[in-house]
Amino acid sequence: MNQTTIFWPMLAHVLLIYIVYAVLGRRRYVAVKSGEAKVGQYKARSSEPASCVSVASNLSNQFELPVLFYALCLTLHLTNGVNYLTLALMWIFVVSRYFHAWVHLTSNNLLLRSRSFFLGAVIILLGWIWLALHLLGAV
């Protein structure tokens, strides 16, 4: 299998980050334009209007668990560990991040959000376990 295919899920997640940045920018613009907020409120997140807080939180989320995703993808590439299973796992992780972001930015349903986070966390754990087995020569 072409080892560079692992970069496609990474690029898809990078796209998600830019989408969330765009949503945050739009919500902040609308909040200032409508008078809900003043530009100076954005100096500290604690003073952001409610319409922006969940988006800013989601943006932070995109740099927490996904750090393990990026490290795993790069390590899989470097060790020739990319195969159909690992590629599928990474795509499932990215889909779980898109779903998590969609829930967070719309209904903010905590049950759905936590389930999608948990799914992503388990997928990444499975990927790291597979990597360990690969490095041991067991798979």
Listing DSSP states for 42-83 in one string gives GGSGGGS-HHHHHHHHHHHHTTSHHHHHHHHHHHHHHTT---
Average of per-residue pLDDT values in the chain: 95
Tell me the whole-structure pTM to 2 decimals.
0.94
Residue found under tokens 């809900």: 36
Determine the residue type at 70.
Y
Domains of the chain: 3-136 (1.20.120)
Write the pLDDT tens digit of every residue in 62-115: 999 999 999 999 999 999 999 999 999 999 999 999 999 999 999 999 999 999
Cα Rg, the chain, nearest whole Å: 18
